[in-house]
Each structure stands twice: as structure tokens, then as C-alpha cells.
Structure 1
Amino acid sequence: MRDILVAAAVGLILSMLGTPLAIRLFARRGYGQNIREEGPSGHYDKRGTPTMGGTVIVIAALLGYAAAHVATLLSANPAPPTASALLVLFLMTGLGMVGFLDDFIKIYKQRSLGLRSGAKALGQLVVGAIFAVLVVQFPNAYSITPAETRLSFLRDFGPPIGLLGFTVWVLIMIVGFSNAVNLTDGLDGLASGATGIVLASYVLIGNWQLRNSCTTAILGPNCYIVRDPLDLAVVAAATLGALVGFLWWNAPPAKIFMGDTGSLALGGVLAGLAITTRTQLLLLILAGLCVVITSSVIIQVGFFKMTRKRIFRMAPLQHHFELKGWAETTIVVRFWLIAALSASAGLGLFYVEWMPKL
């Protein structure tokens, strides 16, 4: 528990203090947000707001995780970094670098389009493929690897699908959720708050799995086969702390945007935590708001191609309500409530699944 608190506190402090420095630096260099002309007219006032704030989130999360392990050196049982946590951090950082390139091109060329969709997808696939191959390696003393080549909901289930099938599934998750967070990041503070709620859920999940792990609890069917649950909770806590510190400056009216740097990195963290905690399909419920917002885009595009008509006034969904006249803060707070309800439902399922076996 101390590791979790240290990671969250350091991530929070570094992000809280580092974000205003980034705001001044990016503003001085002219790293401002470009606004799509076809977007809601109310967004034009946001043109020039510093972006690429996701760099602060990633750096603060990495340093928060490192600080937690430095703190363990002072304890009687020092714990080195684990393969599971390092792989999730690699996924976050790698996708963050893809997002950084996208943001930088937007700024350099003064347009709302950064990397072309093919190049962006290629970057996500390369980082995801490396993660998918490595995450089934590195068994610990109990022969448990960070992930198994099987699907999972509340635990692993079904027969192994092989490395190729597993890699394809992992790539779908990584690309899907990194883009889902990116689509959710359309209003001040929306993606920060919604993602933070899911990360808080994974702090609880990792801590619960630690206390009921097959390596610490009585062996039997009522334990979790997860390689490094505590360190995964530390990763979630460090990222959550960094995100809360960033949200202080990103809340409406935002002083800085996370950009694709932050949204792709955060989507990667969520996918990585789901894979390594064996809760892949549960993430669809925990991150229900992101799933709904992404679905609104898919439905809008598909329906328009078939009928040349639109279901929503604009997609993603948050812009539909903007055009209906809802205030931005109203949409953000109500969507946060939906995110909280989704995460609560996911945690409820996770806990109830345990209860019948007591």
C-alpha cells in the first residue's frame, strides 16, 4: 500500500507543478492547438491553447513509479521493478511518442491533421506488436507470465488462441482503446476525468488481486493467477496521480490540452492494465463512456454511408450535445457521472464474481 501511495503522491506533485511550466514553455514556442473548421463554433476560442500536455502526464507517471521503487529500497523487503509493470509503461511511452509526433506535425504545419491515418496506425501497431510478443514472456518463480495467450474477462478463460491470435487480439485492444480515449478527448477535462476513474478502478483491482493471489493466498480455485498485481496497481496509481495533477489545469476552461500525446498514452495504459490483470473484456465495462463515445462515431459514419443521413448532429457524442445547446461544463460533469457508473458496474462484477466462491 505504501508503494501505491508514494507513486500517486509523486505523480500528482510532479504533474501539478510541472504542468504550468509546460504551459509557459509551449505558449512561448507557439505550440498551440489548431481547431477544425467543421467543429463546434464554440471551440474557436480555444485556438492557440497550449497542447501536448500529455508529455507531462507520461513523465510524471514514469517518475512516480520510479519513486515508489526507490522508496522500497528503504524497507526490509526491497522490490525491484517487475516485467508486467515495465511492459505497461513501455506501451504507455511508446504510444505517447506516436501521439507526440502527431501533435508536433499539427503544430509545425499549422493544421488540424497531424500524422496521416496510415502512419499513425502503423506506429500504434508496431508498439502494440512488440508489447503483445513480450507480454507472454518472462515467467516468474511460479511460472506465471504477465499475460497468457487466452481471452479474459474477470479471469483467463477458454483455450489458448496461440501467439498469432493473441497478438491480433492485443492489437485490436491497444488500437481500439488508444483511439477511444483520443475520441473522448473533445472537451476540457473530459478524457482526463473519465480515464482517471478507470485508473482508480485498476488500483483497487490490483490491490484485491494481490491480497487474493495464488502466490500469496491459499492455493485453490478461489485465487487470481496474476504475475505482478501490486506493481500493476503502482503503475495505475502513478498514472492516476499524474492525471489528477494535470486535470487541475485541464479542467474547464482548460489552460492546456493533453493532445494525442496524452490520449494515446492513456489508452495504452488502460489496455495494458486490462491485459496484464486478466480483465481484458471487463475493460469494456470499466471504460464504458469511452466505448459509447467511440460507438457513436462508428454508428454515425456507418449510417451516413448507407443513407447519406446523420443520426447525431455531430460525432463524437459530446459534440452532439454541444450542438443541442448544453453547456460544456454540463456535458463534462454528466459524462464523468456516466464514467463513474460504468466503473462502479465493472468493479461490482469483479467483486461479485468472487463472492460465490467464498
Structure 2
Amino acid sequence: MIAIIIAGATALILSILGTPLYIRFLVARQYGQFVRDDGPTTHSTKRGTPTMGGVAIILATIIGYTVSHLATTRLPTTSALLVLFLMAGLGLVGFLDDYLKISHQRSLGLSARGKLLGQGLVATVFAVLALVLPDRDGATPASTRISFVRDISWLDLDLAQNWQIPAALATVIGFVLFAIWANFLVAAWGNGVNLTDGLDGLATGATILFAGTYVLICFWQWRQTCPPGFELDNCYTAPAPLDTAVVCSAIVGACIGFLWHNTSPAKIFMGDTGSLGLGGALAGITIVSRTELLGAIIGGLFVIISLSVIIQVASFKATGKRVFRMAPLQHHFELKGWNEVTIVVRFWIVAGILALAGLGLFYVDALPRLVS
């Protein structure tokens, strides 16, 4: 518990005090946001605002996690380190995208293919390491089973175990299927946070609610960890839930500190550096905590906003008509005349309700098992 508090507090202090220094650095080099011409006209005032603020979030998270372990003399776990790797790796892809936008003074950075290749490379490395490197009691951070509140026994991506084929080939198939699943999750969460990051503070606040919820979930998993070698209905097999909670706490602290400067009117944007980095972290957290499907409820705001884009594109291609005035969804309400702050606060409320719903489902599953 002490490690969770230290990680969050350290990341918060670093982020809230360090971000202004980073803003001065960006301003001095004229690393400002380039605003797309087809966006809402109210966004023209945001042109030139320093971007790539995700660097501050990622560094504060990593340092907060590191300080907590130095203070408690606890060794880091494979699960937590892989989540941080996914966060930093996706953040690097986003950084390259942001830098190209700034250097070329345009709204497009990396090509769609280049961005997908970068995300795919990082996600694939994560997937392989998560199935190979041991963590607590020799268990690996990831499982080939798809999970809701815990791994679902009949949703196993290693389908080859029932095909009567050589074990080596079955293992390879299981790795490939899991790598595809991990790539999907990383792309979905990365794009979800990226699409949500359209208004001052929106994605940052939603991420705080998501990661804060997972502090509670992972701490509970730690209190109800399965005995070594056993997989029971009233416990959890996530290999290092307490350390995952430490990472989540560091993310919460870093985002709260960043939100101080990112709230309307924003003095800095997280950019693709932050949105892809945070998206990668959220994907990693759901994988190592064995709650991949539950995460889609807890982070439901990101899902809704992503769906708004999918619906808009599909409708326009199929019928030539748009469902929303503009996608992502937050811009639809802007064009309806809603104030930016009003949209952000109301979307935070929706994000909070969905996070509580997901947390409720987690405990509804857990409590009857404990009573029985």
C-alpha cells in the first residue's frame, strides 16, 4: 500500500512542477500544435499551443514507479515493467508522429502505415515477452485465455490444444493468436485515447478515472491472490497485481499533475506522444490484470468515442449521409453549440459512471464467491 501512495505522490509532484519547465522548453523551440483546417472553428485559438506533453506524463510515471521501489526496497515485477515498456514504446511512436507534424507544419505526421507498423512492432514484442518471461511464482504476465473479471477457461486462444497436432506447433499457433489479440487491444486503446484527446483535459481526465479504478481492482486482486499452483473460483491468477496497482497509481498522479496545465484553456497538449503512450498503458494493464473485456466497460468513454468515428465513416460510405455533425463525438456537441468545458465535464461524468459500472461488475463477481 505504501508503494502505491509513494508512486502516485511522486508522479504527481514531478508532473505538476515539471510540466511548466517543459512548456518553457517547448515554447523556446516553437514546438506548437498544428490545428487541422476542417476542425471546429473554435479550435483556431489553440494553434501554436505546446504539444508532445505526453513526455511529461510518461517520465513522471516511470520515475514515480522507480522511486516507490527504491523507497520500499521492493524488486520490480515483469508485469509492471512490460506495461511501462508498452507505454514508453507507444509513446515513442507518438513522439515521432508529433515531431513530424511540428517540423513540417502540418496536421499529418507519420503515415497511417508507418504508425501501424510502429504500434504493431511494440505490441508484438510485448506479447511475446508477456508469454515467455516469468513473473511471480513462475507464472507469465499474460495468458492465452481471453479474460473478463478473470481468465475465461473456454475462451483460450491456444485452440490448437484440441487439434491433435504436435505440441511445438500448438505453442506457435497460441503465440500467434495472442499476438494478434494483443495488437488489436493496443491499437484499439491507443486510437481510443487518441480520438478522445480532442478537447482540453478530456482524455487526461478519462484516463485518471480508468487508472484510478484499476488501482482498486489490482489491490483487491492482490488481497485475493490464488495460492501457487492453484486456480480457484474465489481468487485471482494475475501474477503481480500489487505492482500493477503501483503503475496505475503513478499514471493517476502523472495525469493529475498534467491536467493542472492541460485543463481549459490548455497551456500544453499531450499530443500523440501522450495519447498513444497512455493507450498502450491501458491495454497493458487490462492484459496483465486478466480483465481485457471488463476494461472495455471501465474505459467505456473511449469505446463510445471510437464507435462514433466508425459509425460516421460506415454511414457515409454506405449511404453518403453522416450520423453526427462531426466525429469524434465530442466535436458533434461542439457544433451543436455546447461550451467546451461543458462537454468535457459531462463526458467525465459519463466516464465516471462507466468506470463505477465496471468496478461494480468486478465486485459483484467477487463477493458471492467469497461468501460461498
Q: TM class, shorter-chain normalised? A: over 0.9
The corresponding residue for 1:112 is 107
Instruction: From 170, 181, 202, give the equivalent of 1:190.
Output: 202
The amino acid across from 1:23 in the alignment is I
Instruction: From 68, 91, 94, give the equivalent of 1:96.
Output: 91
The amino acid across from 1:276 in the alignment is V
Query: For 1:228-247, what per-residue CA distance to the aligned partner results, in whole angstroms no more than 9, with x for missing partners?
Result: 01100000001110010000
Native 8 Å contact 1:142 1:215 kept in 2: no
Instruction: From 338, 341, 353, give the equivalent of 2:353.
Output: 341
Native 8 Å contact 1:189 1:247 kept in 2: yes
The amino acid across from 1:96 in the alignment is G
Q: Measure how far apart 1:83 and its partner are.
A: 0.3
Instruction: From 131, 135, 155, give the equivalent of 1:136.
Output: 131
The corresponding residue for 1:61 is 61
Q: Measure how far apart 1:142 and its partner are.
A: 2.8
Residues in 1 aligned to 2:11 and 2:40: alpha-carbon distance in whole angstroms: 34
The amino acid across from 2:82 in the alignment is L
Residues in 1 aligned to 2:38 and 2:137: alpha-carbon distance in whole angstroms: 55
The corresponding residue for 2:240 is 228
Residues in 1 aligned to 2:368 and 2:138: alpha-carbon distance in whole angstroms: 28
Query: For 1:110-141, what per-residue CA distance to the aligned partner results, in whole angstroms no more than 9, with x for missing partners?
Result: 00111011100100000000001111122346
The corresponding residue for 1:124 is 119
SS at match of 1:81: coil
Native 8 Å contact 2:128 2:179 kept in 1: yes
Aligned 1:1-358 pairs, distance under 5 A = 1-73=1-73, 79-140=74-135, 142-157=137-152, 158=154, 159-161=156-158, 162-215=174-227, 220-358=232-370
Residues in 1 aligned to 2:227 and 2:51: alpha-carbon distance in whole angstroms: 44
The amino acid across from 2:124 in the alignment is A
Residues in 1 aligned to 2:369 and 2:119: alpha-carbon distance in whole angstroms: 39
Residues in 2 aligned to 1:252 and 1:31: alpha-carbon distance in whole angstroms: 19
Residues in 2 aligned to 1:182 and 1:294: alpha-carbon distance in whole angstroms: 9
SS at match of 1:113: coil
Runs of 4+ in 1 over 4 A off after TM superposition: none
Unmatched 5+ residue regions in structure 2? 159-173
Native 8 Å contact 1:100 1:260 kept in 2: yes
CA RMSD of aligned residues (A): 1.3
Native 8 Å contact 2:212 2:249 kept in 1: yes
Native 8 Å contact 1:11 1:64 kept in 2: yes
Residues in 1 aligned to 2:192 and 2:291: alpha-carbon distance in whole angstroms: 18
Query: For 1:191-240, what per-residue CA distance to the aligned partner results, in whole angstroms no more than 9, with x for missing partners?
Result: 00001100001111110000000148x98431101110110000000111
Q: Measure how far apart 1:260 and its partner are.
A: 0.2
Query: For 1:291-322, what per-residue CA distance to the aligned partner results, in whole angstroms no more than 9, with x for missing partners?
Result: 00000000000100011111100000000000
The corresponding residue for 1:76 is none
In the superposition, the TM-score normalised over structure 1's length comes to: 0.97
Residues in 2 aligned to 1:120 and 1:219: alpha-carbon distance in whole angstroms: 39
Residues in 2 aligned to 1:80 and 1:29: alpha-carbon distance in whole angstroms: 39
Task: Report the number of matched residues.
Answer: 353
Native 8 Å contact 1:33 1:46 kept in 2: yes
Native 8 Å contact 2:52 2:95 kept in 1: yes
Which stretch shifts more, 138-147 or 298-307? Answer: 138-147
Q: Measure how far apart 1:271 and its partner are.
A: 0.3
Residues in 1 aligned to 2:217 and 2:99: alpha-carbon distance in whole angstroms: 36
Residues in 2 aligned to 1:31 and 1:220: alpha-carbon distance in whole angstroms: 53
Residues in 2 aligned to 1:49 and 1:341: alpha-carbon distance in whole angstroms: 31
Native 8 Å contact 2:136 2:240 kept in 1: no
Residues in 2 aligned to 1:250 and 1:19: alpha-carbon distance in whole angstroms: 10
SS at match of 1:21: helix
Residues in 2 aligned to 1:215 and 1:198: alpha-carbon distance in whole angstroms: 28
Residues in 2 aligned to 1:220 and 1:287: alpha-carbon distance in whole angstroms: 27
Q: Measure how far apart 1:49 and its partner are.
A: 0.3
Residues in 1 aligned to 2:363 and 2:234: alpha-carbon distance in whole angstroms: 12
Q: Measure how far apart 1:270 and its partner are.
A: 0.5
The amino acid across from 1:335 in the alignment is F
Residues in 1 aligned to 2:131 and 2:213: alpha-carbon distance in whole angstroms: 24
Residues in 2 aligned to 1:263 and 1:149: alpha-carbon distance in whole angstroms: 27
The amino acid across from 1:28 in the alignment is A
Residues in 2 aligned to 1:196 and 1:232: alpha-carbon distance in whole angstroms: 15
The amino acid across from 1:8 in the alignment is G
In the superposition, the TM-score normalised over structure 2's length comes to: 0.93
